[in-house]
Structure 1
Amino acid sequence: MGVNGAGPDRRPVPLGSRRPRVSARRTRAGARGPGPNPYPSGEHVPSGLRTTAGYTWRLVLLGLAAYLVVDVLARLELPVVALFVALVITSVLRPPVDLLARGMPRSLAVLVVLLCALAAVGGVLALVGTTVADEWGRLGNELRGGLSRIDHWLTGAPFHLRPGTVTDLRAKIGAFISAHRSTLLSTALSGAGRIVELVTGLALAVFCSVFFLHSGDRMWTWAQRQLPVRSRSAWDRAGRAAWLTFAGYTRGVLIVAASNAVLVGIALAILRVPLVLPLMVLEFAATLIPLIGSPIALAVAAVVALAARGPVIALLVLALIVVIGQIEGHLLHPLVLSWSVRIHPVVIAVSVAGGAVLAGVLGAVVAVPVVSVGWAVLGELRTRGTPGLPGAQAAAAGDRPGRGADRGRRPEQGGGGRPGE
């Protein structure tokens, strides 16, 4: 004990004064050094808000990336559309090519199938042109008489328009065409330029489809070899799921379009509406746009029926829109497309509307197959499926950890690993 009560390691403390008390906790903390900050940054922000902010900036980045992708694709419209058409041609012609390749060289099978397809398309177009040329004179007389009947019909109940309404409308249209002839001519010339681009894109699509039909499997194998080894299995499953979905949707929608065209042709022939074959081709092409394409084509047929056959036949054609829509929605789509595309009608409607806003008619055509392929790929990658099988089939096959031949395998060996390994 030191002088005046001071310990051997303490300084002397004058009598009558009090030593400052030091907390034992602070002493221990000082001996250990600075500990963790009891007030971490962001503690005053609610956890729900932090989570929402995290998701928000990620969604913003994804939206920006999607916008950039759409902008780049819009600038490369011609090659992108050509590749899409090439994939459509490949999905339609691949089964007959595979069938003929069993008994002949594959290159010869591709040539035979392509020539037959071109002959069929050219024959249909030639038949449509011949039909329009043969019926054009009679159709002109019927349209002039039909316009007079429409004018007389509009003057009665329930419209009670003044006589000559349709005639005045025709005169105004003629005056507008005469006043804006130069503008219409420049528009027609720009349309001719679009026709040149269309022919160029179609030639590029046929050129690419030849190689896709002949050596598509080798091209896919080469593309896989450019990827890391650990991710090849996932990419292979995703690519096969995407192709099966796209090919199934393309073949299915062509079957639905052909069925609609046949039904419309039979109904128009029974009602004796002119230009049956061109209207069938229009219905076939319009049905490629889900939900809205077929009603638009039938509305054109209703206008032709109104001019050529009168309002009663036109009303019957309008009723045909409802009947064809019910057959397509409740019979053809469930039977033909349910095995390849399982998307709710609301999603289809929103996809078509969004595609039309982003890229017009072309966007409306490609929206549903793009969404279908994306959904199929997402479902395949979310499922620990067996390579070569869709995710739902692999799950049904009992692909579970620790079962079968995959037990004890390392992820790089292809079994039991996480998706993508």
Structure 2
Amino acid sequence: MQPGSSPAVAPFLRTAAAYAWRLLVVGTLVYALFALLGRFHEIGVALFLGLVVTALLRPVADVVARGLPRALAVALTMLGSIALVLGVLALVGEAVANERTTLVREFRDGVERIEQWLERPPFRLNPEALSDVQARIGQFLSSHRSTLVSDAVSGAHHLVAVLATLALALFSAVLFIHSGDRQWAWFREQLPVSVRGRAEVGGRAAWRTFTGYTHGIVLVAATNAVLVGVALWLLGVPLAVPLALLEFAAAFIPLIGSPIALAVAAVVALAAEGPLVAAIVIALIVVIGQIEGHVLHPLVMSWAVRLHPLVVAVSVVAGSIAAGFVGAVVAVPLVSVVWSVHSALRAARETDRETARETERALAEEGPEDGQDPSGPRPPDRS
């Protein structure tokens, strides 16, 4: 090495350094994006819910619009859907109200049966310990009454935020259903001409995957809810309809949602009907999990992106860590959409390369024009 010259750097280190600073820039941008989304997460949730409603109701509105004006068809579709949801909630509320007295008595008796069961072998718990736990719970509620009241009051602010989010989701869904295609065309026209083609390919792939996943997960959730509701009704477990609705909502979190909802049903069955019925409900968790994992998802979700179970599990956990319940729900469709867009763009690039190679091959096979020297034009004679 000559004096004053910089030391030689291995090519591997030079390449690693080049990738390292680029990864730092990308990581900083991703972190800033997630921080921005976290600051305005209500807007993101509202738009996501609007897209879910659009994926579910856009086909219905298209059918109704064949005989009615588009605006009237969208209004009838939205009003009918809202009436259906409110009817289901009213049915659940009526079921809870009718079973409230019986449920309180059964729970009181069920708690006593659980205490007696814990006092017998193999647990042999001291009855005074159980009574002490109940006394401590009552003392905790009494001593922290002001804190609980303040939390309830602060929860009213969260209720306002939830209502505002639902209102924005409903408003955006109406606009998406009515003229979502024109909105997408306007957005695409704002992009540079060089990326409009890729944006069109990626956008179509993303929407196709999102609608397929939404339709599939709703069908899977409805099937699980019907199976759970019928099974709990046959077993005589109280609150079968609300528990079935809980199963429907929990099924939107893949892998872990259904077991959690059925665990709640098992606790209700244990308190109301005893250990035998609770054991049957626990066995139901295994059966429904097998049906969902090996029958429903392979059949129903075949039009959406098929992700490996490990990817689904990691996505759900990462989403729950990042944004709680909402993140767990959004994680899998987000990963599916991203992978679908990546696959569509890669396939488009491969198609373009293949087309370019075929064009070059065709030009080479045509050869030179008639009367032209195959060696090409000769330079002028400068002598």
Q: Same fold (TM over 0.5)?
A: yes
Match of 2:355?
400
Contact 1:150–1:166 under 8 Å retained in 2: no
Match of 2:8?
44
What's the TM-score, normalizing by structure 1? 0.82
Residue 372 (str. 1) matches residue 336 (str. 2): yes
What amino acid does structure 2 have at the position aligned with 1:72? L
2: CA distance, partners of 1:399 / 1:131: 62
Residue 260 (str. 1) matches residue 224 (str. 2): yes
1: CA distance, partners of 2:130 / 2:260: 23
Match of 1:71?
35
Residue 192 (str. 1) matches residue 156 (str. 2): yes
Match of 1:14?
none
Match of 2:379?
none
CA gap of 1:39–1:51, structure 2 versus 1, over 3 A, is farther
Residue 322 (str. 1) matches residue 286 (str. 2): yes
1: CA distance, partners of 2:316 / 2:69: 41
- The residue correspondences of 1:66-145 to structure 2 (distance < 5 A) are 66-145=30-109
2: CA distance, partners of 1:292 / 1:43: 55
2: CA distance, partners of 1:365 / 1:247: 15
What amino acid does structure 2 have at the position aligned with 1:186? S
Match of 2:367?
none
Identify the range of structure 1 (204-213 vs 334-343) with the bigger mean alpha-carbon deviation.
334-343
The structure with the greater share of residues assigned to helix is 2
1: CA distance, partners of 2:99 / 2:126: 32
SS in 2 for 1:401: helix
- The list of structure 1 runs, each at least 4 consecutive aligned residues, that deviate by more than 4 angstroms after superposition, is 37-43
- The residue correspondences of 1:8-407 to structure 2 (distance < 5 A) are 44-384=8-348, 400-401=355-356, 403=358
CA gap of 1:47–1:276, structure 2 versus 1, over 3 A, is same
Contact 2:64–2:73 under 8 Å retained in 1: yes
- State the 1:399 CA deviation: 6.1
SS in 1 for 2:305: coil
2: CA distance, partners of 1:50 / 1:230: 32
Contact 2:99–2:239 under 8 Å retained in 1: yes
Q: Which has the higher contact order (CA 8 A, sep 6+)?
A: 2
2: CA distance, partners of 1:227 / 1:98: 28
1: CA distance, partners of 2:195 / 2:237: 58
Contact 2:209–2:303 under 8 Å retained in 1: no
SS in 1 for 2:172: helix
Contact 2:50–2:172 under 8 Å retained in 1: yes
Contact 1:151–1:165 under 8 Å retained in 2: no
Contact 2:205–2:340 under 8 Å retained in 1: yes
Matched pairs, number: 361
Residues 280-320 of structure 1 deviation map (CA, whole Å, 9 limit, x = unaligned)? 11011111111111111111111100100011111111111
Residues 239-264 of structure 1 deviation map (CA, whole Å, 9 limit, x = unaligned)? 11111111111111111111110111
- State the 1:223 CA deviation: 0.7
SS in 2 for 1:119: helix
- State the 1:41 CA deviation: 7.2
What amino acid does structure 1 have at the position aligned with 2:356? P
1: CA distance, partners of 2:58 / 2:4: 62
2: CA distance, partners of 1:154 / 1:38: 84
Alignment gaps of 5+ in structure 2: 364-383
Match of 1:17?
none
- State the 1:44 CA deviation: 2.7
Could you tell me the percent identity over the aligned residues? 54
SS in 2 for 1:108: helix
CA gap of 1:399–1:130, structure 2 versus 1, over 3 A, is farther
What's the TM-score, normalizing by structure 2? 0.90
Match of 1:12?
none
